[in-house]
Structure 1
Amino acid sequence: MSDQGVDRSKRQFLTTALTVVGAVGTGYIAVPFLSQMQPSTKAKAAGAPVEIDISKMETGQLIRAAWRGKPVWVLNRTPEVLEILATETDKLADPNSLESNQPESSNNEFRSIKPEIFIAVGLCTHLGCSPTFRPEIAPNDLGEDWKGGFFCPCHGSGFDLAGRVFRGVPAPTNLDVPPHHYLSETRILIGDESGADA
């Protein structure tokens, strides 16, 4: 067969065009296939650290966030609360947090890096209900001995404002303190304790 009358430039153009179309088609097929192998945005967010800005927190205020599908509390404790925490240890099941889940940086009487800022997972260690924040002193429904804390309405467990469990309640351990560190004086990263604290 003779190559006479064949336009080589058209043949080259068609070959190049078909190669490009084939590559694009392969890309359209491969991208969804490969992307389904990656974790979803929701899955990535579920375990990702959460940054909290405390610059506008007032003394005595509790703010809530979510980390790994769990509520996380950040409490700005008053100087009066810090005094009470040091004196109420005889009513607690584990005042020194020896059997509790907390990072080494929070292994102290206040269970926090900075005494005034308390961070905890907001789930009762009994059956996982979310306790209510009850900062008032001696309310009628909790009695004269109540000096402020967290009260679980499901089965009556009580925790002080350092998340330490009171004696004689169903909850077996103190509230969990999640791993965290300070990115600056007013920014906290929950879920990661690898950074240096401010």
Structure 2
Amino acid sequence: MANSGVDKSRRRFLIAATSVVGGAGTVALATPFLTSMSPSARALAAGAPVEYGLGKVEAGQQVRVKWRGKPVWVVNRTPEMVKGLASLNDRLKDPDSNILTQQPEYAKNLYRSRKEQYLVLVGICTHLGCSPSYRPEVAPADLGADWIGGWYCPCHGSRFDLAGRVYKNVPAGSNLEVPPYYFKDDSTIVIGLNDAKEAV
């Protein structure tokens, strides 16, 4: 027999050793390639969801949170602020929030929010990207007797109500954007995701 002098155990060992070395070499070559395809820590941080504690926001106050490099406003609206929203519909371009790209489906309501009290908006004017000023006061001299609070863009004069809806006859063409967000619990919101399932 031609194979009578072959050491089968040695052959198995050499095949196994070659497979291990080959596998290790493949992993060593693939690792840098796969690592280069995954986003950097900076990129992950820039797009990562942001948690914010609502206990820091007093009644009537607006705070600014940074998400994806954009200013996001969180407003704790008082009952008086919320009550005045329905009276403005005839003065607004899109009172029913029909431009669906401006908010998630759960914010397509009078309040443009998940809860009447808290409003979450991207703080960038939909005209040319300025950041409007929060003007919660009623009837200030520079905005007129019919002003019941909202945002005023100093760049070109666009006005938005306390739900971020744009007024008629101003340069901005659409409501302020509502980013994806959800309530993690009664006192914490997560900006950047629509619900906890997206985080998994």
TM-score by length of 2: 0.79
Distance 2:64 2:56 in 1: 13
Kindly tell me the number of residue pairs found equivalent between the two proteins. Answer: 171
Deviations 1:106-131 (A, max 9, x none): 11100000001000000000111100
2:97 matched to 1:93?
no
Shift of 1:32: 7.4
Mapping for residues 38-53 of structure 1, pairs under 5 Å: 38-53=38-53
Moved more, 110-119 or 36-45: 36-45
Distance 2:34 2:54 in 1: 40
Q: Per the alignment, in what secondary structure is the counterpart of residue 182 of structure 1?
A: strand
Distance 1:99 1:38 in 2: 34
Q: Which residue of 2 aligns with 1:117?
A: 118
**Structure with more of its chain in helix, by fraction:** 2
Deviations 1:136-194 (A, max 9, x none): 11111111121110010111000000000000000000000001111000110111003
Mapping for residues 16-165 of structure 1, pairs under 5 Å: 35-100=35-100, 101-165=102-166
Distance 1:193 1:35 in 2: 28
Distance 1:158 1:35 in 2: 46
Q: Per the alignment, in what secondary structure is the counterpart of residue 109 of structure 1?
A: coil
Shift of 1:33: 7.5
Distance 2:43 2:61 in 1: 31
- Taking only the aligned residue pairs, the percentage that are identical comes to 55
Shift >3 Å, 4+ stretches: 29-38
Q: Per the alignment, in what secondary structure is the counterpart of residue 183 of structure 1?
A: strand
Shift of 1:34: 6.5
TM-score by length of 1: 0.80
Distance 2:114 2:194 in 1: 11
Q: Which residue of 2 aligns with 1:7?
A: none
Unaligned stretches of 5+ in structure 2?
1-23
Distance 1:46 1:108 in 2: 29
What's the RMSD between the two structures over aligned residues?
A: 2.0
Distance 1:77 1:186 in 2: 15
